[in-house]
């Protein structure tokens, strides 16, 4: 009996016992936000907030004289053709809805506000007209149906990017017309020789692909600050070919790149990649403390080699499979790490020469705006997009038994995930996010979300005292 | 109830007996039909829901777990 109740516990909590703001890692209202945005492109709620305003937390600063809609710098052309759900009737035991074709505003940044990665460093800079993209998710961790739906949905929305995760570029990532950031981890999947060394030949092949716009070197990720592990049973023939590993055998990534022992060596490798590939190259880090980040900044200053972007993943970031102790207790959360990196870049006069991408539980416009205000230039979302293709947070990603066919390579389970239906949800969710972010910019009195600064966010504590997050004088 | 008129049975008794048998048969048919309806109708309804769940593309859980998945659909 105890076993049965324990087994049913997560479902019981999720559906019956947790209140709307209690669930972890995402509570019901966040979950609902993604589903509603994906199906109806709708962000409305009724009656008011359920946030506990007595608790301490961050708040976005509104302006007494917000921007009017026509004062906002936004590019709304071309419109995005998508499909949206319309509710026919909604009763307790009968609920009917149908899909209709529709046109949505894309909410692109204007050309002068667009972000360009590698503008002065790469032969092929990467111009981005949307602030939000898909964070690293590998083929193998997610199935081909999920990757295809994401690729096609993001491609429809345009102005965004898709990070391949460390599992290299699969044909499914390339199915939609979406710009790709290829991640390279210490496992060197997709760019390795048979012996596991870095293959410049394979790297050149990848960088010659027009759809691949940039590369990201993964130093760490929020949920596991060590090398990844892929179970042999997940290494199918196809995955083995894509990753350049042996079929059916367990794969363990090293904890760091072989032969790279310090910041200087790492940056030299990064520069070499940029030279050979001609594309922007960034890095993904998890912040432990100020000294660690500062040593990296010093190395950048000394070598003059600056990554085109730095992805700051919070310790609260997600993953398909990790270890309890790493997921829970290692690495600072996003909102603590961001201002530290931002401030240290400023301290070493590097801020104007790179871009910060933030990730870690940022799946609603308000959280995105807070990250932008705390120092981010762009946002990566992984689990939000997983929810948009049908994830129900069953938390079994590591077992290959995902009931919704998202985080599994099992063909039978994947049959459940209809690419034709879910790609529209991906597109609608992203457009709803962008609209929400632009609307919050207007409320904050700025004409573009690229102009959020630390003045736009305050911290209110339990004593109801307010402090501004621009005070980082301790970083001297 | 037997009577000895005309060699053992009176026509009335034979008639009644036949009527009873017919009634019994009819009752049996009604009961069987009722049971069949009680079992078949829910089965047909379940089959219809099953096919709907498998064919629809909105809910992944219902496609993978037709009928059963309805317990957890939000």
Nearest to A405 among B58, B64, B74 (CB): B64
Does residue B4 lie in a domain region? Answer: no
Q: Which of B45, B49, B60, B71 would you mutate first to test chain A, the one with the most A CBs within 10 A? A: B60
The CA angle A398-A403-A404, to the nearest 5 degrees, is 105
pLDDT in tens, A346-387: 999 999 999 999 999 999 999 999 999 999 999 999 999 999
CB contact under 8 A, A403 and B64: yes
Contacts of A361 (CB under 8 A, 6+ apart): A25, A26, A314, A316, A317, A318, A334, A367, A383
- Contact list, A406 vs chain B (CB under 8 Å): 60
* CA-based nearest distance A19→chain B, Å: 14
Residue A357's pLDDT is what? Answer: 98
Would you say A367 and A361 are in contact if contact means Cβ atoms under 8 Å apart? yes
* CA-based nearest distance B19→chain A, Å: 48
Secondary structure of residue A261 in the 3-state scheme = coil
CA distance A307 to A299: 11
CB contact under 8 A, A415 and B61: no
CB contact under 8 A, A416 and B74: no
- Contact list, B68 vs chain A (CB under 8 Å): none
Residue A11's pLDDT is what? Answer: 77
CB contact under 8 A, A420 and B61: no
Nearest to B64 among A15, A416, A420 (CB): A416
Nearest to A420 among B57, B65, B72 (CB): B57
Closest CA in chain B for residue A411:
B64
CB contact under 8 A, A405 and B74: no
Name the stretches of chain A with pLDDT < 50: 476
Residue A426's pLDDT is what? Answer: 98
CA distance A436 to A422: 21
Does residue B57 lie in a domain region? Answer: yes
Question: Quick one: DSSP state of residue A282?
Answer: E
Does residue B2 lie in a domain region? Answer: no
Q: Which domain holds residue B52?
A: 11-72
Does residue B3 lie in a domain region? Answer: no
Domains in chain A with CATH codes = 115-468 (3.20.20.70)
pTM for the full predicted model: 0.90
Does residue B6 lie in a domain region? Answer: no
Would you say A82 and A424 are in contact if contact means Cβ atoms under 8 Å apart? yes
* CA-based nearest distance A406→chain B, Å: 9
Residue A18's pLDDT is what? Answer: 82
Does residue B5 lie in a domain region? Answer: no
Q: How many domains does chain B have?
A: 1
What ipTM was assigned to the predicted interfaces of this complex? 0.71
Residue A374's pLDDT is what? Answer: 95
Does residue B47 lie in a domain region? Answer: yes
pLDDT in tens, B26-46: 999 999 999 989 999 999 999
Does residue B54 lie in a domain region? Answer: yes
Whether B49 and chain A come into contact, CB under 8 Å, resolves to no
Residue B74's pLDDT is what? Answer: 42
Residue A230's pLDDT is what? Answer: 75
A72 — phi, psi (to 5°)? -80, 135
Q: How far apart are the first and last CA of chain B?
A: 67
């Amino acid at each position: 009996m105890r076993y049965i109740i324990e087994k049913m516990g997560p479902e019981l909590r999720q559906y019956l016992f947790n209140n709307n703001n209690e669930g972890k890692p995402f509570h019901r209202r966040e979950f609902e936000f993604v589903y509603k945005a994906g199906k109806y492109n709708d962000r409305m709620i009724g009656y008011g907030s359920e946030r506990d305003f007595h608790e301490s937390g961050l708040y976005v600063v509104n302006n007494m004289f917000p921007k009017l809609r026509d004062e906002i710098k936004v590019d709304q052309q071309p419109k995005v053709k998508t499909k949206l759900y319309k509710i026919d009737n909604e009763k307790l035991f009968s609920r009917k809805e149908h899909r209709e074709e529709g046109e949505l505003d894309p909410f692109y940044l204007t050309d002068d506000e667009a972000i360009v990665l590698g503008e002065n460093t790469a032969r092929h800079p990467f111009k981005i007209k949307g602030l939000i993209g898909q964070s690293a998710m590998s083929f193998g961790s997610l199935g081909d149906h999920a990757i295809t739906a994401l690729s096609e949905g993001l491609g429809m929305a345009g102005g965004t990017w898709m990070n391949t995760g460390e599992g290299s570029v699969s044909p499914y990532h390339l199915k939609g017309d979406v710009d790709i950031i290829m991640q390279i981890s210490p496992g060197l999947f997709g760019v390795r020789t048979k012996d596991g060394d870095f293959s410049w030949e394979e790297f050149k092949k990848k960088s010659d692909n027009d759809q691949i716009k940039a590369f990201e070197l993964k130093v760490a990720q929020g949920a596991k600050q060590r090398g990844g592990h892929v179970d042999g049973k997940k290494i199918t023939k196809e995955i083995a070919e894509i990753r350049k590993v042996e079929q059916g055998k367990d794969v363990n990534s090293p904890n760091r790149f072989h032969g790279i022992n310090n910041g200087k060596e790492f940056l030299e490798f990064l520069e070499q990649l940029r030279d050979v590939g001609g594309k922007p190259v960034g890095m993904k880090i998890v912040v432990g403390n100020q000294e660690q980040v500062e040593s990296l900044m010093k190395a950048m200053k000394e070598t003059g080699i600056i990554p085109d972007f730095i992805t700051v993943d919070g310790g609260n970031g997600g993953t398909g499979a990790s270890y309890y102790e790493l997921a829970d207790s290692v690495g600072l959360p996003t909102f603590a790490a961001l201002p530290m990196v931002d401030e240290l870049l400023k301290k070493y006069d590097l801020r104007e020469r790179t871009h910060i991408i933030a990730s870690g539980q940022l799946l609603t416009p308000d959280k995105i705006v807070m990250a932008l205000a705390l120092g981010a230039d762009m946002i990566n979302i992984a689990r939000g997009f997983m929810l948009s293709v049908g994830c129900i947070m069953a938390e079994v990603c590591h077992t290959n038994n995902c009931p919704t066919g998202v985080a599994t390579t099992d063909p039978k389970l994947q049959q459940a995930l209809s690419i034709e239906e879910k790609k529209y949800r991906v597109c609608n969710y992203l457009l709803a996010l962008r609209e929400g972010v632009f609307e919050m910019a207007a409320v904050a009195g700025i004409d573009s979300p690229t102009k959020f600064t630390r003045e736009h966010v305050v911290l209110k504590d339990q004593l109801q005292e307010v402090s501004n997050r621009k005070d980082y004088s301790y970083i001297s | 109830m037997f009577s000895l008129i005309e060699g053992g049975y009176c026509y009335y008794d034979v008639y009644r007996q036949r009527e009873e048998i017919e009634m019994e048969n009819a009752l049996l048919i009604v009961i069987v039909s009722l049971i069949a309806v009680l079992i078949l109708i829910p089965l047909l309804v379940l089959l219809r829901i099953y096919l709907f769940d498998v064919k629809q593309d909105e809910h992944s859980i219902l496609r993978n777990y037709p009928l059963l998945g309805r317990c957890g659909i939000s």
